[in-house]
Amino acid sequence: MDARLARLLKEIQAEALATATHTGIAAFSPRTMQALTAVPRPEFVPPDEQVSAYLDVPLPIGHGQTISQPYIVALMTDLLELEADAKVLEVGAGSGYQAAVLAQLAQTVHTVEIVPELARACRERLARLGVANVVVHAGDGSAGLAAEAPFDAILVAAAARHVPPALVAQLKPRGRLAIPLGAEGGAQELVLVRKDARGEVSARPVLPVRFVPLTGRG
C-alpha cells in the first residue's frame, strides 16, 4: 500500500475516534475502509491538486464545487450501512469520488450532477477506471430521481436548507438518508434520516460540517 494512503487511512480512523461522541461511530467498518482503500483519490482531482490528494481535506474540482474531505466521505458512507444488493442515489456527483466509494459497497449507484461539464467528466472518468455499477445522470438532483426510485439509501453531497420531501418519498422503508443541512457560510449539520418499516421518518444530527450549497428546484 502507498505510504501516503496508509497515513490517510490512519488519520481517518483517528478522526472517527475523536468525533465518536457526536457521531456514535468510534471506528468505521472494515467494508468502508476497504472501499476507501480501493478508490484512488488522485484520479478524482484536477492535476494541480493531485499533490494534495492524500491529505484529509476537501479540494476544489472547478465550477465552484469540491471533492469532500475523505473523513466525511467515510462517515457518510458508513452511516448508510449499505448491503451488497443496495440501490443508492447520490445527489451531487462532483468528480465521482463519493460515487466510486459507494459503488464498492452497493449493487447500483445512481448519481446526479447539475453541472453538465462535471457530469460528462465524471461519466468518462468512471468508465476509464472500470467502475461499471454507477450511472451518472446530468440534471437537477434536488428532487431525486423518481424514474429509478425507490432507493435503499440516499446521500446528498451538498447542503440543503431542509430535507427535500421528494428524497424522503423515494427512500425505501428501512432506508437511510445522509444530508448536510444549513445555509451557505452559516452553521451546517450532517443529519441522518431514517425511514422505518412502517414508513415513519426520524432524523438525528450527526456532526457540524461545511458543504457547498445544494442547487436546483427540489
Closest CA to 155 of 134, 171, 135, 132: 171
Q: Which of 52, 68, 95, 202 is catalytic?
A: 68
Output the average pLDDT for the chain: 94
Closest CA to 135 of 111, 171, 104: 111
Residue-wise pLDDT tens digits, 105-149: 999 999 999 999 999 999 999 999 999 999 999 999 889 999 999
Residue-wise pLDDT tens digits, 30-50: 999 999 999 999 999 999 999
- pTM attached to this predicted model: 0.94
Write the Ramachandran bin of 93: left for phi over 0, alpha for psi from -120 to 50, otherwise beta.
alpha
Residue 64 burial by CB count (10 A; 0-12/13-18/19+): exposed, middle or buried?
exposed
Residue-wise pLDDT tens digits, 51-98: 999 999 999 998 888 899 999 999 999 999 999 999 999 999 999 999
Q: What angle do CA 204, 208, 210 make, to 5 degrees?
A: 125
Domains of the chain in sequence order: 3-209 (3.40.50.150)
Query: What is the per-residue pLDDT for 217?
Result: 66
Note if 68 is an active site residue. yes
User: Percentage of the chain surpassing pLDDT 90?
Assistant: 89
**Rounded-to-integer distance, Cα 186 and Cα 55, Å:** 25
Residue 213: band (very low, low, confident or very high) from pLDDT cuts 50, 70, 90: confident
